Structure 1
Amino acid sequence: MDEFQLLKSALKPYHLNPSTLMIEKKLQSNSWHGDLHFKVCVDNKSYSARFIGNKRYETDVFISVSDAVLAEQIRFCNFLFDAGIPFMKHVPTVNGELFTTIMFGNEEWRFVLFEWIQGNHLTYGTESIARNFGAFARRLHDVSSRFQSNVFPQVPHSKGHQTFYTMLCAHAASSTFSPSTTHFLQSYLSEIELHIDRVKTGSHEFIVQSDLNPLNILWNQKEEITGVVDFESITYTDRVEGLAWLVKWYSRTQGVASHEMSPVLAKTVWDGYRADELLSPREYERLRSLLWLTGCLNWNFTSKTIELIKNNEDALLNEHITKYVRRGKILSSLLCL
């Protein structure tokens, strides 16, 4: 694929001078959704240029980014930007289109353009970062609560957790492991069932949220947030479910790839968010189980576990589950201060 020619073709509806195009960086080259993402410079200005495919995941457990969903995600980006949230500034075509569709070879792509935001990724946690992010997340959630959509489905994360659990049970039922490994796997499945039961609720406070993990947040040297750069994960979530992910991500002390977490940082995120103003004791208990589920029943765990079961990897499955049991204990202790 000639990526330079692809970009030149995609930029035509924006009336930017293609002769000035420079590709400064290719981003997320190993992403699992297959998008093509570039930092480009055109007419001496930097942009985030993204090509989104129609078939982004091998599994249907994730939201499908249809044209209607993509348009609604961009509408939400503009809503946040207009409300003073430092989200990427969307660039429409000269005809006012939110995105364009381009054929290149035998592939069809949706193309979206944003102005580039400068800043640094801070993936390690400090009390200052945790407090500032907690306050920012509360502000973003409060703004988001005013956005109404008839496009995004209001589906709680617990539905996804139940789907993962059902998948694991189906594969576990046909496994032929040793008695000790079978017992270990069933014990883990029982703990999953316990947490799923604890997070059930008859009432959800649905708000719209993007993926606010540290790789999508930009900071300046004063540890102030200068930008949010993710948009393709935008959909409805329950506020408590969204807060669980944020507490997990911003309590890490050693970076995004580490699972070393601090109860002090978790409490600081909680205080910065002013969660005591919103969460009842029942919702606090939900949050603790949701924290466990974010780290111990996500797609990474589910897909790897199924792979090990299919391949009858007895020793590796023991090792895999042991790692997640250890992680679950850490997550369960985060809000015990």
Structure 2
Amino acid sequence: MTKRLSIAQERSGADVAVVIISFRETTETLYNAIAAALRALKGFNAVLDVVVNGNAELAESVAGCMRDRCGEFPAGVRLRCWYLVCGDKAHAWNTYVHELWPGARTTVFMDGYVEAAVDAIQLLDDALAEDTNALGATGVPNVGASARRMQKEMTSGGGIHGNLFALGADAMRLIRNTRFFVPLGLYRVDGVIGAALFKQLQPIGTTWDIKRVVVLPAVSWRFGRLKWWRLRDWIAYIKRLSRQQQGVLENLAFRDFFIRRKQPLDKLPRTALTLLEDWERHAPDEASSTLRRSSAARRALERMRLPRDWSQAAAPPVLMVEISSMDVLHSGDFSQPVASFDQ
């Protein structure tokens, strides 16, 4: 049975908070990400939130798995599964940060298909504790076609990788206090967050410093690779390429808003489309040149302009299930992953 809540800003006293944001994953993929996170949380006083956006079937299914398979549950960990009607990662991120965050010294963000290494959360937490000037810490991909290139780029030029990164309590408070809401429909959520952190969320009076986010090549994860013989994987790959082109435009638009025009984050447009349209208006030469050179960028912008009803973003989160080590419901085992139905 689900429970609809008006979310109070509770404070759990947790050392670490982890959120897994999911939309397109299968039940077994998301469940394996949860299981990996729980193994990495052994020894922590923690809250693990799973936020499923726009996929009611997935939310119901994974909540059922949580109820049925929680016998080997780490002591001190509390697990919650939420459902958001609006299917949008930026909205899910905003909802977690501004409504669901339980309060913790370190908050770890993960994608729903990521299986964190058993030491990943410990390494992120240690890095933030050791570098008091750092606002965040990020892992670096070690699997995938572009992993080597990204490792080199992030080690030298900084950045945040959205698959697995962490923010300290100071960063979370800054984001909440400045009323920083990521524009709805934004693809490059991690890029915008990283750029904001490099400037301490202030467009004026601060320097750009990539050391505010610690890059940790030792923090790793794994995920199921796309299979060239599966049609759905080809479709997913093509859609990813399109979203990456959208991300290029978003980065340029955010740079114009935050760096060039020095606008405060609480003035960010509500949607990514409005952010891009503002960029076209304020930086017409750059925008027209970028779009003229890339047909893929033009198609990405055309897709963004398709009508979308954002009214669902006003719907409150629905708590599907809540479990802690003190009230385990049934026997089961989170220590082993679920075998993939695709195998």
TM-score, L = length of structure 2: 0.27
- Larger relative contact order (C-alpha < 8 A, sep ≥ 6)? 2
Task: Decide which structure has the larger Cα Rg and report it.
Answer: 1
